[in-house]
A and B are shown apart, each in its own frame.
Chain A
Amino acid sequence: MIFKIVFSSILAVASLTITGCGGGSENSVSQYSIKVQNLTSAQPMSPVAVILHNSSYSLFTVGSSASLALEKLAEDGDNSSVIADTNTNIEQTKSSAVLLTPSSVQDIEITSQSKYISFATMLVNTNDAFAGLNSYDISTIAVGENVEIDIIAYDAGTEKNSETAQTIPGTGGEGFNSLRDDANSIVRAHSGVISIDDGLNTSGLTSIHKFDNPVVKLTITRIN
């Protein structure tokens, strides 16, 4: 009798472990439409990265330092390392093909069994600003329903916000540099750009590059 109970407990643990593999099976397979809109006046955004994953993955944590993959995305608009991440807690990743220009909308279709979605794109007329969403629970969206999520801008904390044209990819400057010269090297809410019109004489940006939150609207619809 005792043996039997122990045996069935082991079986239950084993099946739980299998269920948790690869970030999947937390949910039944569902189809989602993800609409991404740029709400800024003049901040083109790099091809967006969408990550479907389980509760053990985190794209970024406010108050902690950024991963190298996120640094590349936030400084250079290069999402390839985020997209190619082999972390076993990721079920799948998707990238849009082109820049998300101001006012434009991109529609990304996803078939996934993951519970969580994360998202990031660089504001390319900045040193290291990105619009990000961390671990949003999509399993609570009913079939046929949609949620609208306002996304704010974060500072990756991996590059000083000098705003010089030479350091900003959108103004023809350098993108990724592994040197972390931000005095406070943690991810935090972005305080905005200053620009030459607002008194930073060495800035390569003008007033039209300024932004306020939200910078992106995400509309997630569960199709089935």
Chain B
Amino acid sequence: MKKIIASTIASVALLSQSLLAQEIDVKIHNNTNGIYFTPLLVSAHPASTSIFSLGSAASANLKAMAEGGDISGLSTDLASVSSNSVENPAGGMLAPGASTTTSISTALENTNLTIASMLLPTNDGFVSLNGWKIPTTAGTYTININAYDAGTEANSEKIADIPADPGLKAGTGGTGVSTVIEGFVHIHRGNIGDSDPTGGKSDLDVSSQRWLNPIATVTVTVK
């Protein structure tokens, strides 16, 4: 009788261990020719939380990430719901063509995965995976992810409006491409650029600083 009880307790313990924690590896690959990803935020969090809603206005913290690469506000938001987050897994910018991998132990309630970082050089472009449901079955899952526009700043493509050009391909003297602040998060229509390094409308380089979706590939390994 004692033996049976003991084995029941042991199996309950095993069960709760598998429910409490999930070990995942997350690999993020920058698919572009000349766009840099600022320090990434990778987070497992409850399904009820999201850092943005498509078609709605961006939060102040999403705006700070999309316009300036600052993930601290979003990280605080996610910490307030007891997320399991990793900041800056690449140790700086994730360069075009490069990839980075990080591991997360997720708590029971943190069933969804979010990734975000600003795209440079853009005005308010960001790459994101928005609350993807982490599978409970062990395996390797590949997800193509897109570039979004936070809708908080006009896509002027003037270098003065963009925090940095890590690839040093941008020019100067552009008169500005767009003055429209869209007001809602949507799929980014892309940079335009031009071939005039000292004039034209855009300061961005037409041949190297454009992209098409999917802008990144995410590989999640559930152990």
Residues on A lying within 8 angstroms of B by beta carbon are 37-42, 102-105, 195, 197-199, 206-208, 210-215, 217
Q: Is B217 an interface residue (CB 8 A)?
A: no
Whole-angstrom CA separation of A206 from B188 in the bound complex = 15
Say yes or no: A208 contacts B187, CB within 8 Å. Answer: no
Would A40 and B212 be within 8 Å (CB), given that A103-B55, A104-B55 are in contact? no
**Least distance between B52 CB and chain A CB atoms (Å):** 12
Say yes or no: B178 contacts A208, CB within 8 Å. Answer: yes
Say yes or no: B155 contacts A207, CB within 8 Å. Answer: yes
Say yes or no: A207 contacts B192, CB within 8 Å. Answer: yes
Residues on B lying within 8 angstroms of A by beta carbon are 54-56, 146-147, 149, 151, 155, 177-178, 180, 182, 184, 186-190, 192, 194, 201, 212-213
From the candidates B184, B187, B192, name the one contacting A213 in the complex (CB within 8 A). Answer: B187
Given contacts A41-B182, A102-B184, A208-B182, 14 further A-B contacts (CB under 8 A): A39-B55, A40-B189, A195-B192, A198-B192, A206-B178, A208-B180, A208-B189, A210-B190, A210-B192, A212-B187, A212-B188, A212-B212, A212-B213, A214-B187
Query: What total count of A-B pairs have CB within 8 Å?
Result: 67
Would A213 and B213 be within 8 Å (CB), given that A37-B54, A207-B155, A207-B178 are in contact? yes
Q: Chain B residues near A38: list those with CB within 8 A.
A: 55
Chosen A-B contacts, 14 in total, with CB atoms closer than 8 Å, are A39-B54, A39-B186, A39-B187, A41-B187, A197-B201, A199-B194, A207-B178, A207-B189, A207-B192, A211-B189, A212-B187, A212-B188, A213-B213, A215-B187
Would A212 and B190 be within 8 Å (CB), given that A105-B55, A197-B177 are in contact? yes
Whole-angstrom CA separation of A41 from B123 in the bound complex = 15
Whole-angstrom CA separation of A48 from B146 in the bound complex = 24
Say yes or no: B146 contacts A214, CB within 8 Å. Answer: yes
Which 5 pairs across A and B sit closest by C-beta, in order of nearness?
A103-B55, A210-B189, A103-B184, A39-B187, A198-B192
**Least distance between B67 CB and chain A CB atoms (Å):** 16
Q: Chain A residues near B186: list those with CB within 8 A.
A: 39-41, 102-103
**Least distance between A121 CB and chain B CB atoms (Å):** 15
**Least distance between A99 CB and chain B CB atoms (Å):** 15
**In the complex, which residue of chain A has the Cβ closest to the Cβ of B193?**
A198
Whole-angstrom CA separation of A208 from B182 in the bound complex = 9
Whole-angstrom CA separation of A195 from B191 in the bound complex = 12
**In the complex, which residue of chain A has the Cβ closest to the Cβ of B184?**
A103
Whole-angstrom CA separation of A208 from B193 in the bound complex = 14
Whole-angstrom CA separation of A199 from B196 in the bound complex = 12
Say yes or no: B55 contacts A211, CB within 8 Å. Answer: no
**In the complex, which residue of chain A has the Cβ closest to the Cβ of B182?**
A41
Q: Chain A residues near B213: list those with CB within 8 A.
A: 212-214
Whole-angstrom CA separation of A40 from B187 in the bound complex = 6
